[in-house]
Amino acid sequence: MTFLRQTAFAALASLGLGGAAQAVEIEYWQYFFDARVDAMEQLIENFQAANPDITVTMTHFPYADYRTKVAAAIPAGEGPDVVQLFYGWLNDYVEAELIQPLPSDVFPAAKIDAEFFPMVQAMKDGENYWALPTAVRSLALFYNERLFEEAGIESPPETLEEMMEVAAALTKKDGAGNITQVGITAGMTAQDHHWWREGLVRQMGGEPYVDDYKTVNYNSDAGRMAAEFYTNMFMGEDPVTGIGFMDEPQAAFKAGRAGMHIDGSFRIGSLNGVRGLNWGVTELPANADGVRSNYSSYWVNAITTKAEGEKYDAAVKFMEYVTSDEAMQIWLDVVGELPAKPSVGMTDANANDDTFGPFIRGLAYANTTKFANESAQRQLMVEMVERVQLEGMTPADSLAIAAEAEQKILDEYYSE
């Protein structure tokens, strides 16, 4: 229906018969993810109702092709006017002159600094913002209510120590000593590498990176303590988890074979659909002193260099709408990703929501890692654990190797 209407509208507009004198059509691109597409369709509909002279067409691609298509289309003048991209790619897009800064009169930096969660400041360059998110993501601790009840645990753990005790109580083994149910899932391949960097290292009193994420700093006492804490979960006398247990951490949790699981807010949607799984969610555990730390990431919207003249004005208006309070609430309700502004996120209804609340409260103390190459940097964390687990290296030695390798990646990236 939307398509028909748009086609009819475009046809009329091209014949000069459109209702508005200056009908403009702009293109919006994002990667394909059911809920995100649904949410954007709603936003576009609302936006068009308010701006009848602007038509927005959405194109989406499988994630795997996304970057390639954008890179090929914009220079050819066929790409989007407004594009969604991962925050970690921003530098590359700016350098390649594929996106242009947001106008400072409509998006004054001082206002954005004040209104958005502080992590979006990574998108700022002087007086201008390059891009802005509609929604952000953070981590929290999911727990299986049925298993908690079975083990007689009344409330989710508040501290790391409690978490380990609860995990021990939830772990089950068969006669041969094989783990058949883990207390908590583990595996740097999922979200644990974020938890380790921005959560554990900071909670142990360290700072994972310094110099605006250009220098690795976790090869420190705090880092070693964090590495030991993490490896102790699946090594030693009485492990409470196993790496690769049931193939993937989220699979083990979905199957009801894991008591606890650390994951992002984007997991909510897929857990909601699992029959027979009663789960709750709570903030990431604090350390003994009550210090909490979290990780957040986001996708941003930006105006491409293709948008000029009328299209540019329309793109600015559209950007204004997709970063508005209303859009953020729709995004939260449809996709489950958290509003990028405290004014929306921290409303009583949202911040106390049983499901979204822990994630939204986590945003207040979240850090966003600036990655040079996220998958390569994650892989180093995976290997750090593997050297300890499979080759018997000490966590300290293994951590030193990882730090050196990661510094090399960062140096190479920032030297360009």
Partner 1 sequence: MTAYRNLTIRQKQIVWAWIFLAVPVLFYVVIRFYPTGNAVLISFQDWNLLGARTWTGLDNYEKLWNDPTFWKVFVNTFEYLIIGTPVSLVLSFVIAYHLDKLRFAHSFIRMLYFLPFMTSAVAMAWVWRWFYQGVPIGLFNNLLASVGIAQIEFLNSTTNALPAVLAPAIWAGLGFQIIIFMAGLRAIPVSYYEAARIDGVGWWTVLTEITIPLLRPTIVFIVVFSSIGFLRIFDHVFNMTTNNPGGPLNSTKPLVLMIYDTAFNAFDMGYAAAQTVVLFTILLIVSLLQLWILRSDR
* 180 forms part of the interface with partner 1 (CB under 8 A): yes
* 393 forms part of the interface with partner 1 (CB under 8 A): no
* 67 forms part of the interface with partner 1 (CB under 8 A): yes
Of 60 and 387, CB closest to partner 1: 387
Q: Which stretch binds partner 1 (CB under 8 A): 204-212, 218-226, 340-348, 373-381?
A: 373-381
* 376 forms part of the interface with partner 1 (CB under 8 A): yes
* 76 forms part of the interface with partner 1 (CB under 8 A): no
Q: Which stretch binds partner 1 (CB under 8 A): 128-136, 212-220, 236-244, 299-307?
A: 236-244
* 20 forms part of the interface with partner 1 (CB under 8 A): no
Query: Contacts with partner 1 in 116-175 (CB under 8 A)?
Result: 174
Q: What is the pattern of x (binds partner 1, CB under 8 A) and - over residues 182-221?
A: -----x-xx-------------------------------
Residues 386 and 187: beta-carbon distance below 8 Å: no
The Cα–Cα gap between 368 and 346 comes to 19
Among 95, 238, 348, 354, which residue sits at the site for partner 1 (rule: CB under 8 A)? Answer: 95
Of 15 and 176, CB closest to partner 1: 176
Structure tokens that stand for 383 in this block:
């290997």
In the complex, minimum distance from the CB of residue 169 to partner 1, in angstroms, rounded to a whole number = 19
Query: Contacts with partner 1 in 290-349 (CB under 8 A)?
Result: none
Of 31 and 116, CB closest to partner 1: 31
In the complex, minimum distance from the CB of residue 376 to partner 1, in angstroms, rounded to a whole number = 6
* 390 forms part of the interface with partner 1 (CB under 8 A): yes
* 98 forms part of the interface with partner 1 (CB under 8 A): yes
Please state the φ and ψ torsions of residue 404, each to the nearest 5 degrees.
-65, -45
Q: Which amino acid is at 27?
A: E
In the complex, minimum distance from the CB of residue 138 to partner 1, in angstroms, rounded to a whole number = 22
In whole angstroms, how large is the CA radius of gyration of the chain? 23
In the complex, minimum distance from the CB of residue 383 to partner 1, in angstroms, rounded to a whole number = 6
Regarding beta strands 294-304 and 128-129, do their DSSP bridges make them parallel or antiparallel, or are they unpaired?
unpaired
Among 9, 29, 87, 93, which residue sits at the site for partner 1 (rule: CB under 8 A)? Answer: 93
Residues 116 and 341: beta-carbon distance below 8 Å: yes
The Cα–Cα gap between 27 and 312 comes to 11
Strand pairing partners for 138? 296
Please state the φ and ψ torsions of residue 241, each to the nearest 5 degrees.
-160, 175
User: How many residues would you count in the chain?
Assistant: 416
Of 282 and 305, CB closest to partner 1: 305
Among 242, 259, 264, 362, which residue sits at the site for partner 1 (rule: CB under 8 A)? Answer: 242
Q: For tokens 């913002």, name the residue.
A: 129
* 375 forms part of the interface with partner 1 (CB under 8 A): yes
Among 14, 68, 155, 270, which residue sits at the site for partner 1 (rule: CB under 8 A)? Answer: 68
* 274 forms part of the interface with partner 1 (CB under 8 A): no
Among 35, 37, 168, 382, which residue sits at the site for partner 1 (rule: CB under 8 A)? Answer: 382
Give the binding site for partner 1 (CB under 8 A): 64, 67-68, 71, 92-93, 95-96, 98, 174, 176, 178-180, 187, 189-190, 242-248, 257, 373, 375-376, 379, 382-383, 386-387, 390-391, 416
